[in-house]
Amino acid sequence: MSLTLEKVSKAVDGQDWITDIDLNLEPGSFNVLLGRTLAGKTTLMRLMAGLDQPTSGRVLMNGVDVTGVSVRKRNLSMVYQQFINYPAHTVYDNIASPLRLAKMPREVIDKRVRETANMLHLESMLDRYPLELSGGQQQRTAMARALVKDADLILFDEPLVNLDYKLREEFREELRELFKTRNCIAVYATTEPNEALALGGNTAVLHEGQLLQYGRTPEVYHKPKDILSAEMFSEPPINVVPALVTESEVTFDETVHFKLNSDLQSLTPGRYQFGVRASHIGLVPHADDDLELPMNVDLAEISGSETFLHVHNGELNLVLHLSGVHEYDVDEQIKVYFPTHKIYGFDMAGSTVHVPTRLGGV
């Protein structure tokens, strides 16, 4: 079963929510829709599911046009961001409901419900009601209901957003395991680049209703098509610095110069925008030709066991992604090391013209 979107658009009240999206999802693939809030992830999923109809374009399932076919007649399941269950039914009945409606024999239903419940660690909750369970268990119930039937298409709309950090990591792993053995298309929407990387598979980067890039997840990550795609697929967003390339050296921010190295030699002289991932700038040099830059600290933002360090020097603003907790005073003078081998080159229009070849780690 493959899913194809052909020039799909959706406008609501004269506003374009989805613009001309072409997408082909292979059978058995795991696909991540990555984009910020309002990027159109949910809208796109609803179009895939048939809950909403596209304003123009077609949706094909296995080559058959299913645009306008009721969601009841399609074989799919969906897990929402909110925990959606039937509160008046027990967990068992919740999971069994799609099978009962498919008129399966009682024993088969029982077997499959218990199998799925075991898979999601719900075996001891079967007789309870969803609202008596914790958030994680409620979402597991919703997932179990989605997984219990052999759907051709399973849609996850940010299912882990309302769960705590620890559960999220656990779920993510389980999810990958669950889908290894299945031959259905999974689509998973998320706002977090890290989640996309952890899930692997394919990634479609969405921005303001447009599909920026689609491909294998590491491929999209390492070779972003343009600045926007690179920004969407990095947290914190990739640092962008205007630069001038001449015959022999690179200048950015008018003040910093360094010799054109083998890596950037392919660039013809002219103006560019250079991108450097926040995690690639360090407080200690990693290579001999790392550029030492004196910077002033603006803010050290601590998130979990990681620190986002915002620094500036004149017009040059950079964000560093450091592991571990680091405390800095505002306006403290520090030295950061800028890797000249890990620079993405974008032309002034934003398209990628250079991708670093010697990538070490993420």
Partner 1 sequence: MTIATTYNEDQAQERADSASLTRPVSAQKGTASGRNRVLLGLYLLFTLLPIYWLINMSLQSNQEILGTFSMWPQDFDFGSYIKIFTDPSWYMGYVNSITYVAMNMAISICVALPAAYAFSRYKFIGDKHLFFWLLTNLMAPPAVFLLPYFQLYYTVGMFDTHIAVALAHCLFNVPLAIWILEGFMSGVPKEVDETAYIDGYTFPGFFIKIFIPMIRSGVGVTLFFLFMFSWVELLLAQTLTATNAQPIGAIMTRTSTASGIDWSTLSAAGVLTILPGVLVVYFVRNHIAKGFALGRT
Residue closer to partner 1, measured from CB, 137 or 307? 137
Shortest separation between residue 127's beta carbon and partner 1, angstroms: 17
Q: What is the dihedral of CA 89, 93, 99, 104, to 10 degrees?
A: -120
153 within 8 A of 161, measured Cβ to Cβ: no
The SS3 assignment for 75 reads: coil
Q: Which is nearer to partner 1, 76 or 227 (CB)?
A: 76
What's the closest the beta carbon of residue 126 comes to partner 1, in angstroms? 18
Minimum distance of partner 1 from residue 98's CB (angstroms): 4
Tokens 């399941």 belong to residue: 77
Nearest approach, Cβ of 60 to partner 1 (angstroms)? Answer: 19
Strand arrangement, sheet containing 76-79: 76-79, 153-157, 185-190, 30-34, 202-207, 210-216
What is the nearest approach in angstroms of partner 1 to the Cβ of residue 112? 14
| Closer residue to partner 1 (CB): 51 or 178 | 51
Helix, strand, coil in percent for the chain, rounding step 5: 25, 35, 40
List contacts with partner 1 (CB under 8 A): 49, 51, 70-72, 76-78, 80, 82, 84, 86-89, 97-98, 101-102, 142, 145
Continuous segment of H or E residues that includes residue 197: helix 193-199
Judged by CB, which is closer to partner 1: 100, or 106? 100
Q: In angstroms, what CA-CA distances link 228 with 6, 21, 36, 72?
A: 23, 17, 12, 37
Q: What angle do CA 190, 191, 197 make, to 5 degrees?
A: 70
CB of 161: closest distance to partner 1 in angstroms? 14
Decide whether 71 or 325 has the Cβ nearer to partner 1: 71
- Comparing CB distances to partner 1, the nearer of 15 and 248 is 15
DSSP string, 32-58: EEE--TTSSHHHHHHHHHTSS--SEEE
Shortest distance, position 170 Cβ to partner 1, whole Å: 24
Q: Residue 111: enclosing H or E segment and its boundaries?
A: helix 106-119
Q: Kindly tell me which of 86 and 328 has the beta carbon lying closer to partner 1.
A: 86
Which pair of tokens denotes residue 152? 């051709």
